[in-house]
């Protein structure tokens, strides 16, 4: 028991050190990736990170008031080197602790809202499971349930009245649920329940898109219950659900084989999808061009080739900037 407590304390100290590093103002993309790997070591690591983040967020209002009462508290002594978790954990002093919690600081803004989404935010790194840009991951939750996570996906383990499940915070996943017990997926305002089924869930904005690939999926939304059969797709948000439409299961699952397929899809949506797989950012500066329907198929690892295709086929102008940023007009 004592060993367990010591291990938990050590992980918590490492989470504190990671928080200090991310808020130091010198965090890099490599730091964010290293933190993602640290969080992925175990559920205990991910939970410790969420607890540290929650504690600091709760302290921010009080810390801001403290700085107003004592402005000198906002100027801590010169920061010490933030040790990596493999080294001795970093312990911020009182002034550093107060100053680090000031909500108006620029480092706070960059940690929670990275510019153009160029690196993961603090909230994203706290998930139980997470994939980075262009990354896919297979997660076996039990001998009955497996989840294939697509790029830029975050999910948390969740227990509910219907049994164990996951919360799809953001991104896309394909779930294979076995026959023994129902498996729940919470996404947006809805809950999905399935047994002996395979289904795809996409939550990349305010809307959630559910595609039943095999079996049936029960959809509970705002007191309404619907049953989604194979080959049907349902889109919903906090206001309600659209009528189900027929889809090709092979096209829905194309990302699992490394392909992206677009048929009469507005260019703006194609660019949004490319940004999910490509490091950096493509910024579309022509709204009229963004409404143009596009028919394309390309490999996930060839997003730059896709941009060249868009330039050649649709007359787009591409301007490359540092940091893998591309302006399209």
State pLDDT tens for residues 246-304.
999 998 999 999 999 998 999 999 999 999 999 889 999 999 999 999 999 999 999 99
**Could you count the other beta carbons within 10 Å of the beta carbon of residue 260?**
19
From residue 185, alpha-carbon distances to 36, 128, 160 in Å are 23, 14, 10
- What is the per-residue pLDDT for 84? 42
Residue 133 pairs in a beta bridge with none
pTM for the model stands at: 0.66
Question: Greater confidence, 259 or 44?
Answer: 259
What is the DSSP annotation of 199-237? EEEEESSS-EEEEEEESEEEEEETTEEEEEETTEEEEEE
Select 137-252's CATH number: 1.10.630.10, 2.130.10.10, 2.60.40.10, 2.60.120.1440.
2.60.120.1440
Question: Greater confidence, 65 or 39?
Answer: 39
Which tokens sit at 302? 């060839």
What DSSP character marks residue 314? H
Q: Across residues 160-179, what is the average pLDDT?
A: 88
What is the DSSP annotation of 128-184? SEE--TT--EEEE-SSSEEEEE-TT-EEEEEEETTEEEEEEEEEEEEEEE-SSS-EE
Which helix or strand (DSSP H or E) is residue 257 part of?
none
Same fold, 137-252 and 258-328: no
What is the DSSP annotation of 58-72? HHHHHHHHHHHH-GG
Residue 141 pairs in a beta bridge with none
What DSSP character marks residue 246? E
Q: Give the CA diameter of the chain.
A: 66
Lowest mean pLDDT among 24-38, 76-90, 122-136: 76-90
Q: Report residue 90's pLDDT band, with 50, 70 and 90 as the boundaries.
A: very low
Q: Give the chain's count of helices (H) and strands (E).
A: 10, 19
User: Over 50: is that where the pLDDT of 79 sits?
Assistant: no
Q: Report residue 41's pLDDT band, with 50, 70 and 90 as the boundaries.
A: confident
- What is the per-residue pLDDT for 92? 36
Q: Which fold has domain 258-328?
A: Phage tail protein beta-alpha-beta fold (3.55.50)
**What residue segments make up the domains of the chain, in order of their start?**
2-126, 137-252, 258-328
**How far is 203 from 278, CA to CA, in rounded Å?**
18
Residues of the chain with pLDDT > 90: what percent?
51
User: Over 60: is that where the pLDDT of 315 sits?
Assistant: yes
User: pLDDT digit string (tens) for 115-126?
Assistant: 555 555 555 566
């Amino acid at each position: 028991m004592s060993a367990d407590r010591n291990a938990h304390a050590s992980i918590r100290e490492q989470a504190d050190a990671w928080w200090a590093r991310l808020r130091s103002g010198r965090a890099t993309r490599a730091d964010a990736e290293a933190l993602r790997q640290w969080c992925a070591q175990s559920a205990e690591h991910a939970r410790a990170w969420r607890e540290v983040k929650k504690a600091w967020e709760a302290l921010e209002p009080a810390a801001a008031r403290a700085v107003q009462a004592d402005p000198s508290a906002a100027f801590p002594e010169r920061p010490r080197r933030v040790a990596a978790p493999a080294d001795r954990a970093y312990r911020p002093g009182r002034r550093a602790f107060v100053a680090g919690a000031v909500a108006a600081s620029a480092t706070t803004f960059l940690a929670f809202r990275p510019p153009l989404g160029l690196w993961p935010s603090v909230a994203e790194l706290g998930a139980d499971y997470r994939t980075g840009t262009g990354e896919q991951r297979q997660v076996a939750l039990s001998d009955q349930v497996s989840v294939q996570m697509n790029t830029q996906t975050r999910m948390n383990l969740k227990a509910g009245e219907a049994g164990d499940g996951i919360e799809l915070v953001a991104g896309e996943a394909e779930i294979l649920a076995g026959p023994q017990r129902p498996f729940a997926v919470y996404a947006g305002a809805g809950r999905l329940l399935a047994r002996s089924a395979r289904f795809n869930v996409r939550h990349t904005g305010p809307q959630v898109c559910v595609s039943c690939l095999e079996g049936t999926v029960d959809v509970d939304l705002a007191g309404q219950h619907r049953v989604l059969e194979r080959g049907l797709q349902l889109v919903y948000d906090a206001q309600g659900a659209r009528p189900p439409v027929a889809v090709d299961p092979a096209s829905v699952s194309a990302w699992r084989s490394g392909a992206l397929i677009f048929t009469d899809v507005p260019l703006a949506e194609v660019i949004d999808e490319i940004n999910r797989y490509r490091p950096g950012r493509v910024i579309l500066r022509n709204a009229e061009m963004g409404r143009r329907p596009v028919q394309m198929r390309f490999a996930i690892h060839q997003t730059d080739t896709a941009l060249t295709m868009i330039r050649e086929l649709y007359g787009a102008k591409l301007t490359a900037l540092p940091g893998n940023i591309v302006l399209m007009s």
